[in-house]
Each structure stands twice: as C-alpha cells, then as structure tokens.
Structure 1
Amino acid sequence: MRQVLNTLFVMTQGSYLHLERETLKLEIDKQTKLRVPMHHIGGIVLFGNVMVSPFALHRCAEDGRSVVMLSEQGRFRARLEGPQSGNVLLRRAQHQLLDDEKRSVELMRIVVAGKLQNSRAVLLRGAREASSPEYAARLRLAADNLAGSIRALPQAIDADVLRGIEGQAAREYFDSFNALLRHNQDAFAMKGRNRRPPRDRINALLSFLYALLANECVSAVESVGLDPQVGYLHTLRPGRPGLALDLMEEFRPLLADRLALTLINRQQIKPDDFEVRPGGSVQMSEDARRTLLTAWQQRKQDEVKHEQLGQSVPIALMPMVQARLLARFIRGESAEYTPYMPR
C-alpha cells in the first residue's frame, strides 16, 4: 500500500508557517492554530499573503515536497522545488519527440481524444440527471457533436487541425454547460469560457479548480523526470508548463468540471459566495474557497478503477500514474499513450 500524502492549503491572510523539530506549525496573530507532522504532508499550497520560515522552505526542498505560491484568487505565482533528479535521457527523448512531427501529432490526437471522451461523459451524465427534457435533449445533442469531433480525429494529420477540432469541441461543450446546472441557473450562467480575470461565477470557480489541477499535474510530470515546460498540444511558451497542461486535459472534465457542478447543484457553493470587483472581475470569498478545497481533498481520496493497471487507484495518484504511462510512451517503451477514460 502506498500512502496518499495530503497537501496543506493555507489561505488565511497573514498566516505564518514555521518548523519546530519534525512538526510544521501554523500561527495566526502569533497564536498556534495548527500542528502537522512533516511526514503527513506531501506538499504545501499558499494563497496570497502567507509567510513561511526559511527553515521550513529548506526542509521541504530537501525532502522533495513542493511549495506552491498562488495569488489570493488562486492564480499561479511561483513554485519551490529541490534539486532536479530527473532522468536526462528521458528529457532528451521528450525534446526529440517534439521534433518528430508524426509521433508528436499522434500524441496530440490521443490527448484530445481523451479530453473529448471525458467531456462527453460529463454531458451524457448530465442528460440523465437533467432538470428538464429540454436540457436533456440539449446535452445529448452536444454529446453527439463531440462524438463527431472524436470521429474526425484520425483524419487530422496536422497539429493545427487537431487544435482546431479541440477548440471547436470545447466551445460546444461550454455552450451547453448551463444545462448541467440544476440550481441558481441564472446566477451561475456561463457566457462562454473566460479567464484572467474570470467575469462570472462559474468561470471563477472553474479557474480556481483548474489552478489546483495544474499544480497536481506539474508535480506528476516532474516526479517522473519529465520537463513540465515542453508540451505538444500546448506549444512552447516561456513560463507555461505545456506538458503538465497536456496531461491536465483528460482530467479537466472528470475532476474539475464535475466537482464544480456538484458543489453548485448541492448548493454547497452559492451565488453570494462571490464578489464582483471593480472592472468586472469575479472572485470567490474565503469561506467558499475553504468549502471548495475541502471538497477537492475529499474527492482526491476516492478510488477509481484504472483499466490498464487492473486495480483501483486513489484519485490523488491518478496524475502520477498517467505521467508514468506518458513517460513510457516518450521513451519508446510503449507503442501509444492511453489517457484515463473511466467506463
């Protein structure tokens, strides 16, 4: 059995984390609010104005624990890692694959297929649970359109054509997103995907979840020795973890989108949990972020069946499992990469 280590999320502004022997202490206004043994922590995520002692940072780096710094709203700012121990031959193969158009397009096709298949699963599940026959029909139609996009993938031999198919399918998916809502439909209505900054409640919620998921995927690809910056579907861009974003695509619908819908439909997240800022940007309240992070951590403990492994795996480990399968494809040890697509 492998223990699933927890991630410590610190959101309270003005908090201070420091190390006391083998225990990490969280202080607020010089009062100790939390003590956690270091061996219980797999990583730390800090939101906004949170301070960490140098000794705590050094210890995390030495032990291989990542420390991620986000803005108060959840946007990535920085990441602390210890010395790199990745396999240089694997990274060389990763760069060579980028120059191999046939194999890189093959990988892109598989990544897009995984994302669209899992997006389609979300739509079909929503159609079964829809609040009205009209919404059910709308969701089934969108699912059929995504199926058409999946059928078009084998004929796409060009990277730009693949990206075009993915982009059109994503628009189709999000255009039908409102039909997945069963409560507060007007308040959470989506008018297309928008970000940086998000301009409605549902986009603020999704952007926050995507930031958390991206962090998990960066950790996963780094843990197997891959370079998170060198992606295929996501082109090279300074500061963008392209490979982590590639890996993230198959998980977006299943982990982030479904969790957002669950929190809204169960009314655990409500319209008044959001604030419209000057300029029209929307952000979640601190209490709403706490609710979301609790649900996120609980969801990560759930186990799902992994068909290739033939066993159940905690969701917390799924990005790492898929990163290892991706590394095998990049090294040439397997003929293809298979994204996670639950049956």
Structure 2
Amino acid sequence: MRTMLNTLFVTSEDAYLSLENDNVVVQNGEKTLAKVPLRSIEQILCFSYKGASPALMGKCARLGVGLSFYSPRGRFYCSVLGENNRNVLLRREQFRRADSPNQARDFAVAFVIGKVFNCRWVVERTKRDHALRVNVERLTQQSALLKDGLGRIMASTSVDEVRGIEGKAAKDYFFAFDDLILRDKDSFFFEQRSRRPPMDRMNALLSFTYALLTNDCVAALQGVGLDPYVGFLHVDRPGRPSLALDLMEEFRPVVADRFALTLVNTGAVRVSHFEERENGGIFLTDAGRKVVLAAWRRRKTEQITHPFLGEKISWGLVPHVQSLLLARCIRGDLDAYPPFMWK
C-alpha cells in the first residue's frame, strides 16, 4: 500500500523555490523562509507568482515529487511530470477506450453514479444529524430526485446522455446546498454555483477546495501511469486535466463539499478570511488560505475503511486507490471500475 508523505504548501505570493543539495529552499527576497528535504515530502503545492527554479523542477521529476503551480487565489496552472511513470502501453489502452463510445460511456456512468450517490448521502446525513435545524421536507424532496437520477444514469446509452443527467443531478443537489450551512447564514450562504470569479464566500471556499482536490487527483493518476488529460466524461480541451476531473466527480460531495461545510459549520473559517476584489469576486485572504490548507492536511490523515477494498486507509490515499483501480480496469484486470461510494 502506498505511504502518504508530507505535502509542502507554499502560500506566500512572493516566495521563490530553489534547490540546495537535496533540499527545497523557500525564499522571499534574501530571506530564507524554509528548507525541507525533498525525500521527506510527497508533493509541493506552490501558490506563488514567482515559481521555482529549473533545477528544482528537474530534481522533483527525477525523485517523483509532485510539483504543482497555482495562482495565489487557487487557480490551477500546471504540474511538473517526470519520466518514471510514463506507461505507454497503459496509456495507449486508455486512449483506445476513451475513443470508444461504448467504453467511454461505461466509465462515465461509473464516475457519475459515484458522484450522485455521494451527493445523496451528504443530504441524507444532514437530515439524520441535524433534523431540528434544517428544512427536512426540502432535503427529502431533493434526495428523492437524486435517487431517481441514479436509475436514469444506469439506463443511459451515451456519454452525452450521462452528462445531461449529471448536470440535472448537480442542480438538484445544489438547490438544497444552502440548507447544509448551519451557522452564520448572513455571511455564508449559497444561491448557485459561481466561479471565475466566485461571487460569495461559500463559492470561494468550494472553488479553492476543488483546486486542491484536482491536484490530488492529477498526482494520483500520474502515479499509476495514466494520462490525467484524457478523460471519458469531460471532453478534451487544451490544459484541462479531463481524467482528473472525471475521477474527482465522485469525491466532490464527500471530500470537498463536506470539508468546506465543516469549516463553516464549526466556525474554523470566518468572514475576515475573505476579501472582495475589484471585479466583485470573493477570494480567501492569505490568512484564510493558511487556515484551509492546515485543515486540509489534517483531514487527509483521518482514517476510513475503503468501501470496495474493506481496508483502512487515510482520506488522502483515496484518490490514489481509485486511480489504481481505474488503471487495473483499463488494463483488463477488473471487469468494471468500482466508483467510490461512501456509506
């Protein structure tokens, strides 16, 4: 089983990353902020404008340390990929299956079933745990719509039909999302999904969390030799990690959404952790990003029992396990891909 090492988050907008022997050095001007042995970390997430030295990028590629770049607001730019995990035979089979309408449909169905199942679980969990604080009637109604969507996904005949059902299910889920926010409703509310830029604090928190989850999925797919940019559900587009977006669909509700809701419902994030920009967009401040990243690191160490394997793993390893199962299915070792369906 894969071992989860540390993740280095670089959140200072003016930080520059360089290599000294086998250490990553984080500098701000002439000041050294940190010096960390590369062999002790699994990946580096850099939210800085200045980036990293070519020497460090090359060393990360050789050692298999993930190095991903984001804007300070959390928009994913790119990742550094070495040669170690380039499995040409596996990728050729991935491309063949992605070009096959029937096989692409089967994978798309699995991803969306996982997503809708988990959306419904989040709604039902809130009903169970907070019945006196939420609109149970509305949640019950939306849960029933999501359950109906599961049946229609199974009966779909094309990827386009799956996309249509997924879009409808997402609307049904987000229609009830505001009911899942349990405190400080004047400051944290949800009307509809908005991005680029997010127009309220809840959307800002979701967008930042989705960016973190996307990076984890990209790294996991690269680790098993799959191409994160060739997917089954999401269409190909330059610069879009389509397969990573496919994989993260089933994780969005139970990993990202529940994480964001927990931060709000426990008061871990506050109004002061957000700022409004000139274009009207709402973004996390530097202090807010540090709070979220620290909580994200803690959440990834929490133990769960994987619903398919029946083994105890940490949340942080779930994308890696699902990527491994996906690779085995593409190779033909599994008859079908088992989506992550949390219970």
Question: Is the shorter-chain TM-score for this pair beyond 0.5, marking a shared fold?
Answer: yes
Matched, 1:145 2:148: no
Q: Which residue pairs with 2:214 in the alignment? A: 214
CA-to-aligned-CA distance 1:218-255 (integer Å, 9 cap, x gap): 11111111111111110111211111110011111111
Letter matched to residue 237 of structure 1: R
- Unaligned runs of 5+ residues in structure 2 are none
Mapped to 2, the partners of 1:132 and 1:185 lie a distance apart of 16
Q: Structure 1 regions of 5+ residues with no counterpart?
A: none
Are the equivalent residues in 2 in contact too, given 1:197–1:281 (CA < 8 A)?
yes
Aligned to 1:303: 303
Q: How does 1:320-335 map to 2 (within 5 A)?
A: 320-335=320-335
Matches for 1:168-207 after TM superposition, within 5 Å: 168-207=168-207
* Equivalent position amino acid for 2:144 in 1: D
How far 1:303 moved relative to its partner? 1.4
Identify the range of structure 1 (279-288 vs 24-33) with the bigger mean alpha-carbon deviation.
Answer: 24-33
Q: Percent identity?
A: 41
- Alpha-carbon distance in structure 1 between the residues aligned to 2:311 and 2:24: 34
TM-score by length of 2: 0.95
Cα pair 1:19 1:25 within 8 Å, conserved: yes
Q: Normalising by the residue count of structure 1, what TM-score does the alignment of the two structures yield?
A: 0.95
**1:100-119 correspondence runs (5 A):** 100-119=100-119
Contact 1:16–1:50 (CA under 8 A) maintained in structure 2: yes
Taking the TM superposition and a 5 Å limit, the aligned residue runs for 1:132-281 are 132=132, 135-281=135-281
Q: Which amino acid aligns with 2:190?
A: M
Looking at structure 2, the residues matched to 53 and 88 of structure 1 have their Cα atoms a distance apart, in angstroms, of: 29
- Equivalent pairs counted in the alignment come to 343
SS in 2 for 1:42: strand
Secondary structure in structure 2 of the residue aligned to 1:52: coil
Matched, 1:340 2:335: no
Alignment-derived partner of residue 86 in structure 1: 86
Indicate if the aligned counterparts of 2:62 and 2:84 stay in contact, CA closer than 8 A. no
Mapped to 2, the partners of 1:32 and 1:102 lie a distance apart of 54
Q: State the AA in 1 paired with 2:41.
A: I
Query: 1:108 and 1:3, CA in 2 relative to 1: closer, same or farther beyond 3 A?
Result: closer
Q: Is the 8 A contact 1:69 1:76 kept in 2?
A: yes
Q: Match of 1:215, as an amino acid? A: N
Where 1:256 maps in the other structure, the secondary structure is helix
The one-character-per-residue Cα deviations of 1:70-111 (angstroms, maximum 9, x if unpaired) are 111000122222225422111111111123222221111111
* 53-62 or 153-162, which deviates more: 53-62
Alpha-carbon contact 2:85-2:224 (below 8 Å) kept: no
CA distance in 2, matches of 1:112, 1:82: 31
Summarize the Cα distance change of 1:106–1:54 in structure 2 as closer, same or farther, 3 Å threshold. Answer: closer
CA distance in 2, matches of 1:2, 1:154: 32
Question: Offset at 1:133?
Answer: 5.6
- Cα separation, 1, equivalents of 2:133 and 2:34: 49
Is the Cα–Cα contact under 8 Å of residues 10 and 50 in structure 1 kept in the other structure? no
Question: 8 Å contact 1:304–1:315 — kept in the other structure?
Answer: yes
CA distance in 2 between counterparts of 1:243 and 1:268 reads 32
- CA distances 1:92-133 after superposition (whole Å, capped 9, x unpaired): 111111232222211111111000011111111111233746
- Alignment RMSD: 1.7
2 CA distance for matches of 1:107 and 1:184?
A: 40
Structure 1, 46-55 or 173-182: larger mean CA deviation = 46-55
Whole-Å separation in 1 of the counterparts to 2:273 and 2:117: 32
